[in-house]
Structure formats: C-alpha cells, structure tokens
Amino acid sequence: MLSLTINGKKREFAAGLIKATLSALLDELKINHATIVAEVDGEIIKRQDFDETKLSSGQRIELVRFVGGG
Amino acid sequence: MADKLIIAGREFNSRLFVGTGKFSSNEVMARAIAASETEMVTVALRRVDIENENDDMLKAIDTEKCQLLPNTSGARDADEAVRLARLARAASGIEWVKLEVTPDPYYLLPDGSETLKAASILVKEGFIVLPYINADPVLAKKLQDAGAATVMPLASPIGSNQGLKTKASLEIIISQATVPVVVDAGLGTPSHAAEAMELGADAVLVNTAIATAGDPVGMATAFMQATQAGRLGYLSGMAKGIATANASSPLTGFLRDGE
C-alpha cells in the first residue's frame, strides 16, 4: 500500500496499481502533466523530472495550477 | 502615438491590466480580454481539484500578446508569498509576479512589512516584482529602492468598486515614483480608471468591475476607452480648477449698451 497526502487529503493506492513515480500518480489521477506544478514534501519538482521522481508512503504532495485571479 | 509603458524592459501599448478572476466562463474571459486590448493579465495559483478536473484556463489567453502576471493571492505572510512565486515560476517559466500579501480576509488589505520582505527575497532570486500595496508613499519608495519593477497602490479594497478613496496618497506616490505606478484594486467604473490615469498613474488594473458586469465584453471596451481617455487627458495638460466662473463665451455683446 502506498499512502500519500495529496493536496491535504490522505489517499491510498494499491502498491501494484501505480509504479511509485510522480508521473504515474498524475496518470492515475487523470491530471494533465502540462498544466500543473508539483511539490513533494515542500520541494518543487520540475515538469521534466516528473518521470524520475520516486514516491514513498508518508509523503505530502501538492498539485497546483493556474486559475483566474486578479 | 509613441506613448509606451515600459516595465522591466518590456514595452506595453496598453495601460489597462486585466485580472482573470470571477468570469462566468473562459470563453467570456477571452472575449473580454480581447476587447480590453490589454497586454498584461493576472492569474492565480490554486490546488488542483482532483475530483473535478477543470479546463486549463491558460488555453483561453493569448500569451503571445499578453504578458502573464501570476499573483501570490492567498499568501498571508512573506514566506507563503515567496513559495507561491516560486511555484508560479516553476509552472510557467515566467519570472513576473504580482506580489500580494493579505493577512486580513475581510478587507484584504496588504501587509506592507511582509510585502517588502518578500519583495527583497524575490528580487534577489531574479523575479520581476510588481507589489500590491496600500497607498503608502513611504512604502512605495522602499519597494522601489528594493528593486520592485512597479508599485501597485490600491484605490480602495479589492473588489469593492469604491473608486479612488486613496486619491491624495496616490498623488504623492505618483509624484515621487521613478518606477511605473499601477493603480490596482477598487476601480469599479470606467470613470474611476480615467480619474486614476488623469492623476498621472502609468496604468490601472481592473478585474471585478469587468468580470462581474452585465456585459463583461462591453465593460472591457469601456475601461479600455476610459484608460486611454484619462491618459490622453493627462498628457494634454489639463485645465486647472478655480473657485469662480471663467466665461468661455465672450461676455461683451450688444444686448445692453454701456457694459
């Protein structure tokens, strides 16, 4: 079991369901990689590094994107 | 007319900046942005809603024509603002940032000392920093000295549509600034934008008044025209107000002899 806190909410993934990388997680959540930025445990992950970023249980992941604002 | 606004080396033909919040749809937003003729649009960063995947709003913005200006809205102190700015740069590759630090959710007034602290950090990291501030001439000067690319004093609280409540202080900021002054927040009607430009502001930023209008595209056009009118009025040398009448028609005439 892979247990992650994503945008403040705890989520669990069957270990076999995703290869434990950030890219695979985004695919699993059906999130377009090109439109978001990610932080893992407070560290910004560049988009080109999504594939190589390994995830492990207990990590805090923030996924943010641009929205309308003044 | 070669009256260009220059911020951090980039030339802008338009002196109206447009915020992208509160539009009813991306389609309406895109049409309002086009009608406004703006070349600078603000955007915010928020958590992805994992349950409800939304459209990518950036697709609706012509980023060839418009400089994207990510803001740090939601930040309540300098650290949060710096974090948001870094995220925005990672997301977009854009180094421009509208720095806003608003600890008070009721009036959304900016925290000057935290803003100055964040601005100093972000300037050192290579950001082009456009800070949103209260209309405080001393703070404006300190931010300018810290390397801010503009200062963006508020006219009245964000989204309040109250117009130029800070007029006297805005005039002082405008008279002292060596960086462009962008009047931001609270401009509720086209005449407010014109008034700010007549004071000598270099640009205005409008969001709520356009986005929540009955016809946002019509209102975007109205703000575009008002901003241009106010600017041209300012450049053309405005007549001074005086206390008594000063006839514009000749008073000497033929109706009464001996006058």
- From A26's Cα to the closest Cα of chain B, the distance in A is 10
What are the C-alpha distances in Å from B25 to residues A51, B28, B33, B68? Answer: 33, 5, 12, 18
Instruction: Determine contact: A29 vs chain B, CB below 8 A.
Output: yes
Residues of A in contact with B159 (CB under 8 A): 70
Residues A68, B29: C-beta atoms closer than 8 Å: yes
What is residue B55's predicted lDDT score, i.e. its pLDDT? 67
Q: State yes or no: pLDDT of B14 exceeds 80.
A: yes
Strand B203-206 and strand B16-19: the pairing is parallel
Instruction: Give me B222's structure tokens.
Output: 């109205």
Tell me if A70 and B86 make a contact (CB, 8 A cut-off): no
Asked if B92's CB is within 8 angstroms of A70's CB, the reply is: no
The whole-angstrom separation of Cα B182 and Cα B26 is 25
Query: Which residues have C-beta within 8 Å of that of residue B3, sequence separation ≥ 6?
Result: B231, B235
Is the minimum CB–CB distance between A17 and chain B shorter than 8 Å?
no
Length, in residues, of chain B:
259
Contact present, B150 and B127 (Cβ < 8 Å): no
B242 vs chain A: nearest CA distance in angstroms?
A: 38
pLDDT for position B15: 98
Q: How confident is the model at residue B42 (pLDDT cuts 50, 70, 90)?
A: very high
pLDDT for residue A32 is more than 70:
yes
Minimal Cα distance from A34: which residue of B? B91
Domain spans, chain B:
5-235
> What's the pLDDT tens digit per position in B22-34?
999 999 999 999 9
Note whether B19 contacts A69, CB cutoff 8 Å: yes
B118 to chain A nearest CA, in Å? 18
CA distance B1 to chain A (A): 29
The per-residue pLDDT for range B48-98, each reduced to its tens digit, is 888 776 667 888 888 889 999 999 999 999 999 999 999 999 888 899 999
CATH code for residues A2-64: 3.10.20.30
Q: From the CA of A36, how many Å to the nearest CA of chain B?
A: 6
Q: Annotated catalytic, B167? A: no
> How far out from the chain centre does Cα B176 lie?
18
For chain A, the straight-line distance linking the first and the last C-alpha, in angstroms and rounded, comes to 41
B170: nearest Cα among B131, B195, B137: B137
Q: What is the pTM of this model?
A: 0.88
pLDDT digits (tens, 9 = 90+) for B89-124: 988 889 999 999 999 888 999 999 999 999 999 999
| Rounded Cα–Cα distance for residues B142 and B132 (Å) | 13
Q: What fold, for B5-235? A: TIM Barrel (3.20.20)
Q: Quote the pLDDT of residue B49.
A: 85
B107: exposed, middle or buried (C-beta count within 10 Å: 0-12, 13-18, 19+)? exposed
Q: Which helix (H) or strand (E) holds B141?
A: helix B137-145
Give the model's pLDDT for residue B135: 96
Q: What is the mean pLDDT of residues B162-186?
A: 96
CB contact under 8 A, A63 and B48: yes
Domain residue limits, chain A: 2-64
* Tokens standing for residue B245: 């009448």
Which of B22, B24, B48 best probes binding to A when mutated, by most A CB atoms within 10 angstroms? B48
Whole-angstrom distance, CA of residue B7 vs CA of residue B96: 10
Contacts of residue B186, Cβ cutoff 8 Å, sequence gap at least 6: B154, B155, B156, B157, B158, B159, B160, B161, B162, B163, B164, B165, B192
Mean pLDDT of chain A: 88
| Local structure of B69: helix, strand or coil | strand
CA distances from A14 to A2, A11, A25, B51, B259 (A): 6, 10, 12, 19, 101
Which residues of chain B have a CB within 8 Å of the CB of A36?
Answer: 48, 91
Q: Give the CA dihedral B99, B10, B204, B157, nearest 10 degrees.
A: 0
What was the ipTM of the complex prediction?
0.87
Q: Which of B48, B57, B208 sits opposite A70 (nearest CB)?
A: B208
Predicted local distance difference test score (pLDDT) of residue B259: 53
Report the distance separating Cα B176 and Cα B85, nearest Å: 28
> Out of B98, B141, B165, B167, which one is annotated catalytic?
B98
pLDDT given for residue A52 in this prediction = 92
Collect all residues of chain A within an 8 Å Cβ-Cβ radius of residue B91: 36-37, 64-66
Q: Out of B23, B43, B158, whose CB is closest to A66?
A: B43
In degrees rounded to 5, what are phi and psi of residue B217?
Answer: -70, -45
Amino acid at B81: A
Joined tokens for residue B170: 């805005």
Interface contact B48-A64, CB threshold 8 A: yes
Q: Find all residues with CB under 8 Å of B174, minimum gap 6, and list them.
A: B181, B199, B200, B201
Nearest Cα to Cα of residue A69 among B21, B173, B88, B10: B21
Q: In a 10 Å sphere around its CB, with 0-12 CB exposed, 13-18 middle and 19+ buried, how is residue B90 labelled?
A: middle
Mean pLDDT score across all residues of chain B: 93
